[in-house]
Structure 1
Amino acid sequence: MADEPSTFARLERVASSAASVVAPLSVISALLFYFGYASSRAQYEYFGVDVDTIGLSTQDYVMRSPGPLLTPLLALLLLAVAVAALNELIRRRVAAAFADGKDPAPAVRDRSRRRLRRDRQLARAVVGAGYAVLLAGVALILAYGSLLNWPYYPLVTPLTLALGAALVLYGRRIDRLLDPRGAGRRPMAMSLVLVLGVSVFWATATFAQWSGRGSAEELALTIDRLPSVILDTTEPLHLTARNVAEEVLPPSEGQTYRYRYRNLRLLIQGRDRLFLVPGGQWSAEHSTLVVPMDGDVRLQFQFQNDPPFEVEPP
């Protein structure tokens, strides 16, 4: 019985450690899902398909998120490295100034006080500039109705808010470093951190949408790279795309498929249906064909046009 409290204590520590790991992983998974969903939605919307009709799973969206997230993550990492290097440089400068302030020579102490005063003024100027940029971001939000058609609004606005909040936070941090006796206002700092986090999330989501749209436009220019499909149906489809060839199959005993369509490409496969697009050069008259995977259609996937590489026998 004496070991029972210690056993419970160990279990509590294990549970606490597991919770500290599971919670961040859940947040990261949710973020990856959202960015993958935003990118996929913009990509397939270009082809006239609502991504919700495809039936992709949560894992599919998570696996699609690294592409649109790669560039903003690299930018944030490089920015973090630059800020860390700048912060280390400033800390060394401040530490040297405080050390000179304890020097027995009056001239050295005066020079240290002047340096600290200039640095404090610079830090407060950074805070003031940050508040100005932050107000500019707020003005952009208030002008949403007038700037709605500006294509760069969804990216410029969050970046402006993030830059303003970051400048204020960093300027206040340097000011506290120069004057440790000054008490910072914690609620204000927490509000700025929230503004920074939400703005970075907004900007990254916008970039994910743009990435999906760009991928769709690139795919439309190289549509023939997609798998080629021959589609047999029992009824005519009356497609609007002119470059899809329709062929009437000759009647035969036991043959239920009467029409054959060529020059179709597989855009994506859903749970129980295929999404086909016309091959060849992109045209505004093209549309996406939704084909259920049942007995009413027959599909053939063609080989690539390039022949396999043949190795000559020795």
Structure 2
Amino acid sequence: MIGFATQDLLLRSSPALYVPAGVALCGALVGALGYHVATRAAEAGTVGARTVRRACSAVAVLVVPLLLLGFLAGFEVFDAGPMGTPLLIGGGLLLAVLARLLYVRGTGAPYPLTGERAALGISVAIVVLCAFWAVGGYAQQKGTADAEQLARHLYRRPAVVLDTPEHLHLGWSGVRETALPGVEPGARFRYRYEGLRLLAHSGGRMFLIPRTWTWETGNGLIVPFDETVRVAFHPG
């Protein structure tokens, strides 16, 4: 039986991590549609190609402040949140790559041009890195929000009475330890712990937290869900 970082469990278990993947897929769809429209416009004639190049130039101008804000946020000049820096830098570079791609397509030349392959590869690598960075930031933000929500509604979690063979030495606020009275020699369970709540049950283990758990100072306990302990559950 060991203590654990409860917030790490919450960060890893959030199903809302699918949201960044959905946003990325929607962005890819928009980019594919934009590429198709730009290609058709460029093939329609000189006017269409000129319009595409002007639009790409306007996007390129927008990239500069995005990258500047991203670097300032990275150096903590201002607080952009856990996802701000990677979204600004990665999004700016992605827009730059797409704008360059469509601009070159508007001229009828293949992309990438000679000499641009190295810059394209580095840009794509940075965009991928920023994507993982943003997903990690989103997981942190979502996990923190879930933990704060849990701390405000602990009464919704099942109450647990835990009997163990050995003394756990918890000393946690809100958790009461008592020696079981009338224990016969050779009996397995000798100590009872009350004031615990069930956070999760996974992989044959129970994740328990005290009823006074808080996000900032909360403790946690992992116990196996087998014959080594005796557990009773009660409504929260």
Which of the five TM-score ranges fits, normalised by the shorter chain? 0.7 to 0.9
- Give the corresponding residue for 1:77: 25
The 1:285/1:117 distance shift into structure 2, 3 A limit, reads closer
Matched, 1:172 2:104: no
Which amino acid counterpart does residue 124 of structure 1 have in structure 2? S
Uncovered stretches (5+) of structure 2, i.e. residues with no partner: none
Instruction: Say which SS state the counterpart of residue 69 (structure 1) adopts.
Output: helix
Instruction: Say which SS state the counterpart of residue 171 (structure 2) adopts.
Output: coil
How far 1:214 moved relative to its partner? Answer: 2.3
* Structure 2 Cα separation of the partners of residues 194 and 237 of structure 1: 50
Alignment partner for residue 266 of structure 1, among 195, 198, 206?
198
Superposed, which structure 2 residues align to 1:218-257 within 5 Å?
Answer: 218-233=149-164, 235=167, 237=169, 239-242=171-174, 244-254=175-185, 255=187, 257=189
* Structure 1 Cα separation of the partners of residues 48 and 126 of structure 2: 32
How far 1:157 moved relative to its partner? Answer: 0.7
Length, aligned pairs only: 225
Uncovered stretches (5+) of structure 1, i.e. residues with no partner: 1-43, 52-60, 98-112, 306-314
* Structure 2 Cα separation of the partners of residues 174 and 161 of structure 1: 20
- Give the corresponding residue for 1:196: 127
Structure 1 stretches of 4+ moved >6 Å: 270-273, 292-295
Instruction: Say which SS state the counterpart of residue 241 (structure 1) adopts.
Output: coil
* Structure 2 Cα separation of the partners of residues 169 and 256 of structure 1: 67
Superposed, which structure 2 residues align to 1:27-46 within 5 Å?
Answer: 45=5
* Structure 1 Cα separation of the partners of residues 184 and 72 of structure 2: 73
The 1:197/1:235 distance shift into structure 2, 3 A limit, reads closer
Instruction: Say which SS state the counterpart of residue 172 (structure 2) adopts.
Output: coil
Per-residue Cα deviation, 1:173-197 (whole angstroms, up to 9, x for no partner): 1111111247722111112111211
- Give the corresponding residue for 1:302: 233
* Structure 2 Cα separation of the partners of residues 247 and 188 of structure 1: 67
Whether the 8 Å CA contact 2:183–2:190 is kept in 1: the answer is no
The 1:126/1:178 distance shift into structure 2, 3 A limit, reads same
How far 1:161 moved relative to its partner? Answer: 0.6
**Which range is displaced more, 207-216 or 153-162?**
207-216
The 1:303/1:139 distance shift into structure 2, 3 A limit, reads closer
More helix by share: 1
The 1:302/1:221 distance shift into structure 2, 3 A limit, reads same
Per-residue Cα deviation, 1:208-240 (whole angstroms, up to 9, x for no partner): 122222222233333344443222345484633
The TM-score with structure 1 as length reference comes to: 0.58
* Structure 2 Cα separation of the partners of residues 75 and 256 of structure 1: 53
Per-residue Cα deviation, 1:54-74 (whole angstroms, up to 9, x for no partner): xxxxxxx7xx47x14211111
* Structure 1 Cα separation of the partners of residues 33 and 217 of structure 2: 54
The 1:73/1:235 distance shift into structure 2, 3 A limit, reads closer
How far 1:245 moved relative to its partner? Answer: 4.4
How far 1:274 moved relative to its partner? Answer: 4.9
Superposed, which structure 2 residues align to 1:121-140 within 5 Å?
Answer: 121-140=54-73
Which has the higher Rg, Structure 1 or Structure 2? 1
The 1:209/1:118 distance shift into structure 2, 3 A limit, reads same
* Structure 2 Cα separation of the partners of residues 289 and 186 of structure 1: 52
Superposed, which structure 2 residues align to 1:107-126 within 5 Å?
Answer: 113-126=46-59
Alignment partner for residue 220 of structure 2, among 282, 288, 303?
288
The TM-score with structure 2 as length reference comes to: 0.74
How far 1:246 moved relative to its partner? Answer: 4.5
Instruction: Say which SS state the counterpart of residue 58 (structure 2) adopts.
Output: helix
CA RMSD of aligned residues (A): 3.5
Whether the 8 Å CA contact 2:82–2:138 is kept in 1: the answer is no
How far 1:170 moved relative to its partner? Answer: 1.2
